A and B are shown apart, each in its own frame.
Chain A
Amino acid sequence: MTDTPLLEIDTAERVFGGGRTLFGKSLPAVHAVQGISFDVRRGETLGIVGESGCGKSTLARLIVGLDTPTSGAITFDGMDLVAEARRDPQKLAQRVQYVFQDPVASLNPRKTIRTILEAPLKHLLGLDRGAREKRLRELMEAVNLAPEFLERYPHEFSGGQAQRIGIARALAADPELIVLDEPVSALDVSVQAQVLNILDDLKKTFGLTYVFISHDLSVIESVSDRVAVLYFGRLAELGASERIFSAPRHPYTHLLLKSAPVPGKRSLIPEDANTELPDPYDPPQGCAFFARCPRGTDRCKSEQPPLEAAPGHPGHMAACHHPVEENEDA
């Protein structure tokens, strides 16, 4: 792993809806992603964790160019990713790929696995027949599937096998960065481990960089070098994985860790059930976590907390006015 950023996201924002009707009435807008900035270094796995609706998938689609940010910049290896996605999507797709959450829905039910895997080889790499055949075998080998599977249709596969095909497709064009959007959430626990192990091996073999999105803290902890915690479309905390899980600074990260069920842990400490989640159409002016936060003050209510580094740990950032310090018990 080196320190040169492969991907840089600078105050990216994506707003859905909005605008005005014919009569000048303004339409409701949702800020799915707001003022998010971070880097992904070459060769690392950046984990992104957060609850449903916090903007994880929107962010993922921005990174692979399937969606365009409303404002902000995304730079991939020194080039403007947003402009490239518009000008030459094929060229971008050669370098940045995506693995989908629902393995079965991401495979066209009426195509054989061969046709599905050949598409990127044909359209992105322009390989001829012989070269394609060779590459197909390599790919099936890489994700540990028998070559006979090439002639089958997606419905004949289990979730785990389908997800391995999804991974093979992402690998096909030999990309540098792969965005994995909840790649194991739809899978059975025993199969989840198979897929996580394969992803780990592939990363080493092909020198890949991963952006790994999940709502499952234990999965994120086991795969990530660094972790970004998202809350309500914003970055709540960002830092090295050990730091996030051993010395979290943001009260929301604390809440997540406290809520996660762990085998052998007899009781969970739930937060007060009456807290209100923020309304995406009417976001609070200050910290979005205020209504649920045990540490909130008047300042939090009126003033958006900026992302600031922890003392002594420049890479560990949290967006909180009153972060939890290491020696205290949240």
Chain B
Amino acid sequence: MSEAVSTAAKGRARGAGRPGPIRLLLNNTLAASGLVLLVLIIAAALLAPLLPLPDPDATAPADRLLRPLTEGHLLGTDALGRDILSRLVWGTRVSLAVGISATLIAAFFGSLIGLVAGYAGGRVDAFLMRGIDMVMAFPYILLALAIVAALGPGLLNALYAIAVVNIPFFARNIRGITIGLSRREFVDAARLSGKSNAGILFGEILPNVLPVIIITMSTTIGWMILETAGLSFLGLGAQPPQADLGSMLGEGRKILFTAPHVSIIPGLMIFALVMSINLLGDGVRDVLDPRLKSGALTRPVARTAVERRTVPETRTHGDSVLEVADLNTEFHIGGDVYRAVGGIDLHLKQGECLGIVGESGSGKSVTAMSLMGLVPTPPGRITGGAAWLDGEDLFAVSDERIRALRGADVSHVFQDPLSTLHPLFTIGDQLTEAIMAHRPIRRSEADARAEELLRLVRITNPAERLKVYPHELSGGMRQRVCIAMALANDAKIIIADEPTTALDVTVQAQILSLMDTLRRESNAAILFITHDFGVVSAVCDRVAVMYAGRIVETGTTEEVLNAPAHPYTRKLIDCVPVLGEPGRRLDAIEGRPPVVNDLPPGCAFAARCPRVKPDCRRGHIALSSLGDTQAVRCLYPLTGETADD
């Protein structure tokens, strides 16, 4: 039940924090002006029969070629004396109708072909796509001309021609997406739920493709209107006396110099129409594109914004290479403030390895990324605290200094080696570049150093391996290359964020023992982020347990593992199966961690804690010492006698 409540709270938070799609669209000035213009044009076109306009086809030779703003003819008249305003409104109506119908036809048939080809694959796919390729092999407008030539000129035939030439565009787009979706697990799941192929294609895949179809439509409709106008301009579309924008432009062409308004006015209308549709279409695409959904539409800056409300002054651990005091990092999304890191203290000596353990979302990565300003701004910002690297406050130094330190004094190893390695450059190129970026040495020296680094991380035949590309190496070897890169410039601190989580156990064991040896050899300190106490045991001297953005317990690895004092640490240790103890029923922690935009007062773990008492929910709880090295943030910590309840 408690879970239902917490999701409800989260749902509410999401609703308030993230603007809805309509608001996002209206925030985009260009898209909003496109929308306004388009609504005006469409309204005029729809209301044409009701507007007090003269008959668009009524000729009046006496009144021919009147200039705009003449009495009775706001926009003047054309070569046959017809009212241009009236023809413009009626012509827009025709052009819009043809453009929209052509888009709908092309979208329907194109998407259908794309869906079937992408889902069926194999021969059906090959057959359909070869057909599409054949259509695409002809130059676009030539094909349209050929179709109209075959069917005879006329507005309806122009419509068919435009629709046909646009089918391949939809078919190819939709096919690509369908192929991706067909391999997704939910399709297999639907099959195992007994759904037929048609049921899966139209019931499971289509709803996911629909937004893409709509985006594609909104971005192509403008072009289709333009193409229809083109055919009419050439005399192959609308036939006299019927007006559409293209034919009006075509009729005005011959008298461009004597009466320019006859062609300029429909020209401007085409421009306004296509422009407004495209602006709106781009806006719609931005809103529906999930990659842009997460935050503001602005690009993050290269270093996290620092807006400290409090700056601690004194260092307490003089002998440490890195000391972090009262670090606070927040994310501001919509009106919500997520306190991802809420007051972290850390210190690391030379050659020491400190483990940070905690569940997903507890703020481990944000803590580590805050140090070198790698948290994206917006929405992130550092709102308090200090981080001293050998006495230098990392949050106060210049951007150049941070850039010089990144990859040199402080280096990172991430979970996914491919996020660090560039796929198109050899290992050697990337290593030498990392070396030369930080010191003025010659290429040949850097090459020699790169080879030495690979040998250091125990890669055999390093001279040859320098020439290979990342994809030619196994996952474990790639991670070793990343570690070599982290060591390239004699780092004082290596921040390793779950470096072995994606690896197989045998490879993990190799990487862990490698890191353990290297830190002893090079004396670099390691900040090791993981969720696995087994991994902590293997490499860390000390460990800090995080919960909801704070450290709840810290101490030497032995202390924390053998005598955890915080109820959360105890539970976290007991909920994992341990090799060699198969019979034990796992002690699950019910419920979920609190969402960090709505932390309860007092202990953040209170809702899940078996030892909770009323005063746990009141006021701030400080980290208090238990002996020399261990400290715990709990009012009723587990001590020796009660540790096993």
Contacts and interface: CB of A to CB of B under 8 A. Distances in A.
Interface stretch (B1-9, B42-50, B445-453): B1-9
B125 to A, nearest CB: 17
B310 interface: no
B185 A105 contact: yes
Interface in B526-564: 531-538, 561-562
B185 A120 contact: no
A158 B592 contact: yes
Contact of B193 (A101, A169, A265): A169
A261 B460 contact: no
Contact of A268 (B189, B536, B538): B538
A108 B582 contact: no
Interface stretch (B156-164, B369-377, B511-519): B511-519
Contacts of B116: none
Nearest to A147: B4
A93 B578 contact: no
A166 B193 CA distance: 11
Interface residues of A, number: 79
A261 to B, nearest CB: 3
A72 B189 CA distance: 25
Interface in B436-486: 458, 460, 474-475, 480
Nearest to B608: A190
Contact of A110 (B7, B207, B510, B587): B207
Contacts of A273: 458, 480, 510, 514
A194 B588 contact: yes
A109 interface: yes
B4 A149 contact: yes
A222 B531 CA distance: 19
Interface string A271-291: 101100100000000000000
Contacts of B399: none
- Which of the listed residues A93, A149, A260 has the most CB atoms from chain B within 10 Å of its own CB? A260
A93 B194 contact: yes
Given A161-B3, A273-B510, A197 B586 contact: yes
16 contacts: A97-B192, A106-B186, A109-B186, A109-B208, A119-B193, A156-B10, A156-B11, A157-B7, A190-B359, A193-B587, A258-B509, A260-B505, A262-B537, A267-B513, A273-B514, A274-B460
Interface string B6-24: 0100110000000000000
Interface of A: 51-52, 64, 66, 89-90, 93-94, 97-98, 100-102, 105-111, 116, 119-120, 122-124, 145-146, 148-149, 152, 156-158, 160-161, 166, 169-170, 172-173, 188-194, 196-197, 215, 217-219, 221-222, 241-242, 245, 255-271, 273-274, 277
B521 to A, nearest CB: 15
Nearest to B593: A190
B64 interface: no
A89 B192 CA distance: 8
Contacts of A217: 505, 579
B101 interface: no
Contacts of A166: 189
A120 B506 contact: no
Contacts of B208: 108-110
A162 B208 CA distance: 19
Given A109-B208, A217-B505, A265 B194 contact: no
B193 A261 contact: no
A260 B188 contact: no
Given A192-B576, A197-B585, A270-B513, A90 B194 contact: yes
A293 B360 CA distance: 37
A213 to B, nearest CB: 14
Interface in B569-614: 571-573, 575-582, 584-590, 592
B538 A267 contact: yes
Nearest to B536: A263
A241 B193 CA distance: 32
B184 A105 contact: yes
A277 B531 CA distance: 28
Interface in B175-191: 184-186, 188-191
B641 interface: no
A190 B193 contact: no
